[in-house]
């Protein structure tokens, strides 16, 4: 079972609090004037939610794997190592704060599914991919240790038409992204999307039958 693209809103309570103590869903009290405790509240709240969901699922089907699909923090302009540490400085930009893959895998879930798209042509595809994966903690020492026991997959990737104006270019971008992820020990991949042609802003895998074989090779 997989949950999909969970995030917290950094412009909503309790992160609008700047002082005083707040008791999180894990029962711990956090000082909202301290960045490290605000960050801990954010991460522990997510882990508490995941633990409850996982427990509920496994009480019914003990053998079922439970995971989370997550878009990378960089996709919505978040930098938890910098200006957004402590869920601060939200400004007027997208307030969504997705958890890092490294945070998720340190909790009760069995796997994490990372969503990555090349959307900024000011960088190369590989540069963009590396920055995205860095923002979700993939290259951290913490994550590398966890990956010995729990897998990650590239659960969403594809090519937008404003980046690739032809399917041939889209094909190259998609295969390059897949290969980069496999090089980073991803244990699987799922392209977005396979055949939903109503999404006209993005290329589909079924644009070309030969591509389907390339994608699975």
Residue-wise pLDDT tens digits, 185-196: 999 999 998 777
What is the sign of the dihedral through the CA atoms of 143, 12, 54 and 40? positive
Give the integer Cα–Cα distance in Å for 83 and 81: 7
pLDDT, tens digit, for every residue of 90-123? 988 899 999 999 999 999 999 999 999 999 999 9
Query: Average pLDDT of each block of 10 consecutive residues along the chain (217 residues)?
Result: 95 97 97 98 98 98 97 96 95 93 96 96 96 97 92 96 94 96 96 84 86 79
Confidence at residue 205, expressed as pLDDT on a 0 to 100 scale: 85
* Sole residue written with tokens 């605000």: 38
Taken as a whole, the chain contains a residue count of: 217
Domain boundaries, the chain: 2-7+67-216
Confidence at residue 212, expressed as pLDDT on a 0 to 100 scale: 75
Give the integer Cα–Cα distance in Å for 174 and 164: 10
Confidence at residue 134, expressed as pLDDT on a 0 to 100 scale: 97
Give the integer Cα–Cα distance in Å for 87 and 174: 33
Confidence at residue 182, expressed as pLDDT on a 0 to 100 scale: 97
Confidence at residue 81, expressed as pLDDT on a 0 to 100 scale: 93
């Amino acid at each position: 079972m997989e949950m999909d693209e969970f995030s917290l809103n950094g412009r909503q309570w309790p992160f609008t609090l700047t002082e005083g103590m707040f008791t999180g869903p894990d029962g711990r009290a956090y000082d909202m004037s301290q960045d490290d405790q605000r960050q801990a509240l954010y991460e522990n709240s997510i882990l508490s939610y995941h633990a409850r969901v996982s427990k509920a699922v496994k009480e019914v089907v003990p053998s079922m794997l439970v995971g989370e699909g997550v878009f990378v923090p960089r996709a919505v302009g978040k930098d938890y190592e910098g200006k957004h540490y402590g869920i601060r400085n939200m400004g007027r930009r997208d307030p969504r704060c997705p958890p890092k893959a490294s945070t998720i895998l340190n909790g009760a879930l069995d796997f994490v599914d990372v969503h990555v798209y090349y959307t900024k042509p000011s960088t190369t595809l590989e540069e963009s991919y590396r920055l995205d994966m860095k923002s979700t903690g993939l290259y951290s020492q913490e994550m590398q240790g966890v990956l010995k026991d729990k897998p990650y997959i590239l659960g969403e990737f594809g090519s937008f038409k404003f980046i690739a104006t032809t399917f041939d270019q889209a094909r190259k971008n998609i295969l390059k992204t897949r290969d980069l992820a496999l090089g980073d020990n991803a244990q699987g991949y799922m392209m977005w999307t396979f055949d939903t042609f109503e999404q006209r802003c993005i290329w589909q895998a079924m644009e070309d039958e030969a591509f389907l074989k390339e994608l699975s090779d």
